[in-house]
Amino acid sequence: MSKQLERLAEFEKEKEQREARFYQQAQLNVNQQKQKLSSLEQYRVDYIKGIQQTGQSGVTATYYQQHLSFVGKLDKACEQQMHIIGQAKVAADQRKQMWLKQQQKVKAVTLLLDKKRIAKEQKEAKAEQAMMDEFATQRFIRSKRSVF
């Protein structure tokens, strides 16, 4: 029974480590998606500055309209990236919950193993004490016999 519990504990610990890795990967994905959004937003700001600088020297309405259209596309891309970040956060939260749930399983199995170990140690201590009591009783009986 104890060997089975030990194997179960190892199995659950491995699952917990795997879930922790999945959670870390999900968190990394969230951070990468945030970096993409940041880069996209910075590109948008730089692009608008470029339009403004070019516009100071005079541009046609068509040129200006094309660039505004592109800025609109950048805005849409930023919105989409925020949506992707939201999905990545949900996935990371799910992975975190799975990891925490697995941690609870590991704790439960570890606690059970500890209880079994303590019970075994107590049983062994009790048996040893009974044996010591028996030896003491036998010694006492022998000592009384030698007196008579």
Domain locations in the chain as residue ranges? 2-115
The two structure tokens encoding residue 60: 């046609």
The two structure tokens encoding residue 2: 């104890």
The three-state secondary structure class of 59 is coil
* Predicted TM-score (pTM) above 0.75: no
Q: How confident is the model at residue 1 (pLDDT cuts 50, 70, 90)?
A: low
> How high does pLDDT run on average in the chain?
92
Among candidates 67, 16, 76, 32, which has minimal Cα distance to 46? 67
Among candidates 80, 71, 75, 91, which has minimal Cα distance to 31? 91
Question: How many angstroms separate the CA atoms of 51 and 41, rounded?
Answer: 15
Please check whether the domain covering 2-115 is classified as CATH 1.10.3470: no
At 113-148, the pLDDT tens digits run 999 999 999 999 999 999 999 998 988 888 888 765
